[in-house]
Amino acid sequence: MKMPSGESLSIQIRSAIVTLIQVGGMSYLDVYEALNSQVSLNTIKGTWLRVKKRSKSQEIFSLLENVEDQIRPEPAVPQKIPLGSATSEQLQDLALCDEEHWQKTFPQIAAEAEVNISKSYAYKIMNDHHDLGRIEPQ
């Protein structure tokens, strides 16, 4: 069974890739076959090059010290309107301010607040951030 796309490799698999290439002298294709084709050739190559770049030397212990992924403190692509942001709160306040605004769709509220987002993102923000639900017109 092949690993799902987008999932991080375990430390054990990354260590195996590094060890097989560095100590075993295997090619990317040999490593691919040794791992029963569960990891793509591109992933094997990318893992090896990343670890090699981060290591101070090409000694196996130095390489193995660098197999752990670097965890990003925040998403690679930050949200346009994060939870708790002033814009998010502004949209909520406007949506709940009076009965006239209760009748408006979330995209109409975003337009009134001069927030440039797609219709679907307006619904997502209001639902995810503030648990406000309105039915999107068809």
Q: Cα-flanking dihedrals φ and ψ of residue 96, to 5°?
A: -105, 5
pTM here?
Answer: 0.48
Number of folded domains that form the chain: 2
Domain extent at residue 41? 11-65
Determine the Cα–Cα distance for residues 24 and 8; give it in Å rounded to an integer: 23
pLDDT score recorded for residue 135: 58
Read off the pLDDT of residues 43-78 as tens digits, 9 standing for 90 and up: 999 889 988 888 888 888 888 888 886 655 566 677
Which residue's entry shows tokens 């068809």? Answer: 138
- The per-type count for the chain, helices as H runs and strands as E runs, is 8, 0
Per-residue pLDDT of the chain (138 residues; tens, 9 = 90+): 455 455 678 888 989 999 999 999 999 999 999 988 888 999 999 889 988 888 888 888 888 888 886 655 566 677 889 888 999 999 999 999 988 988 899 999 999 999 999 999 999 898 888 888 765 555
Q: Coil, strand or helix: which one is 90? A: helix
Same domain, 91 and 59: no
Same domain, 59 and 21: yes
Same domain, 23 and 60: yes
Q: How many CB atoms lie within 10 A of CB 94?
A: 18
Q: Is residue 81 part of a domain?
A: no
Q: Is residue 26 part of a domain?
A: yes
Determine the Cα–Cα distance for residues 21 and 17; give it in Å rounded to an integer: 6
Q: Is residue 136 part of a domain?
A: no
Same domain, 23 and 52: yes
Q: Is residue 120 part of a domain?
A: yes
Determine the Cα–Cα distance for residues 113 and 109; give it in Å rounded to an integer: 6
